[in-house]
Amino acid sequence: MKKVLFQLLLTVALFFLIWFSLSRINWKFILSIEQATKTTEEKLGDLFWKVYKTSETEIRRKKIIAPIDTLLSFICTKNHIERNGIKLHIIMKDEINAYTLPDRHLVVFSGLINACENESELCGILGHELAHMEKNHVMKKLIKEVGLSALISFTTGNKAGSQAAKELAKTLSSTGYDRTLEREADLASVDYLLNANIDPEPFATFLFRIAKETGNLPKQLFWLSTHPDSEERAEKIIETIKNKKITKKNILYPETWKSLSLLLNEEE
């Protein structure tokens, strides 16, 4: 009886301790910070994209955009990711690169598409960038390196802030995340692919291949330079999918994938 009474008193005491602790938290302040971060992210996304599109050529041809959009939408649907909010931009550039910007902008270079030997390789990279987006890695990186106050000041419209934002935008696409975030994005991409019945092994194959080709294409492999340790990451992917039952499925018609390179060459 005493033991039961003691446990009851302990439970009640613990409840009031938790209640007291929660009551001391300034939830209004926390929510205001979250709202400020969201608003800042939206403004930064617009600002950064304005910087990029003035110096890059965005592909508008539907026959090129549609297959990439189909792959992206398929992965999103199978993983319950909201597709409508993602702004997909395909850039005409030989660099093997893809990156995310604040407010769900996804930028893919034509050089990256051409470097992929099949749709599964490209799906692996799309999944990787989606993971950066879904896990808010972009804003975490910016807040860590610059600070929320500085980011907010960039979006106020003053000349100094706008200039600083332009410089930050230029470096965002050419600097990578730390190893922890890269590994997290890789493994999340593997999960996305498995959920969509897409074989993740070609993603690992892509990482192995571009790691071996750095001597031949040093100026073009921007995605590799901002996503280092490719061989190690590829090995981790292979280890992760080992002994997993994988149902391999093509999303695009083979002729649709093959025509992509021809269409991209016509754009040059």
- What DSSP letter does each residue of 13-34 carry, written as one string? HHHHHHHHHHHTS-HHHHHHHH
Q: Read off φ and ψ for residue 231, nearest 5 degrees.
A: -65, -45
Sheet with 98-101, strands from edge to edge, namely 87-91, 105-109, 98-101
Q: Are 203 and 120 in contact (CB under 8 A)?
A: yes
What are the tens digits of pLDDT across the range 106-148? Answer: 999 999 999 999 999 999 999 999 999 999 988 888 878 777 6
pTM of the predicted structure, to 2 decimals: 0.81
Tokens of 155: 């979006």
pLDDT for residue 227 = 52
Distance (Å, whole) CA 57 – CA 91: 6
Note the pLDDT tens digit of each residue in 59-107.
999 999 999 999 999 999 999 999 999 999 999 999 888 999 999 999 9
Residue 217 is predicted with a pLDDT of 46
Region 192-215 average pLDDT: 88
Q: Which has more confidence, 166 or 122?
A: 122
Given a cut of 60, is residue 161 above it in pLDDT? no
Q: What is the pLDDT of residue 47?
A: 85
| pLDDT the model gives residue 238 | 93
Q: Cα(121)–Cα(198) distance, rounded to whole angstroms?
A: 10
Q: Phi first, then psi: what are they for 88, rounded to 5°? A: -90, 125
Domain ranges of the chain: 36-267
In the predicted model, is pLDDT for residue 200 greater than 70?
yes
Residue 28's pLDDT band, with cuts at 50, 70 and 90, is very low
Half-sphere exposure of 30 (CA within 13 A, CB side): 5
Token digits for 221? Answer: 């492999």
* Model pLDDT, residue 10: 54
pLDDT of residue 29: 35
207 has a pLDDT exceeding 50: yes
Task: Read off the tokens for 164.
Answer: 């600083």
Q: Are 100 and 140 in contact (CB under 8 A)?
A: no
Q: How far apart are CA 107 and CA 93, in angstroms?
A: 11
The rounded percent of the chain whose pLDDT value lies above 70 is 71
Q: Please give the average per-residue pLDDT across 163-191, as a whole number.
A: 79
Q: Give the β-pairing of 105-109 and 87-91.
A: parallel
Q: What is the mean pLDDT of residues 229-242?
A: 88
- Which residues pair with residue 106 across a beta bridge? 88, 100
Q: What's residue 212's pLDDT?
A: 77
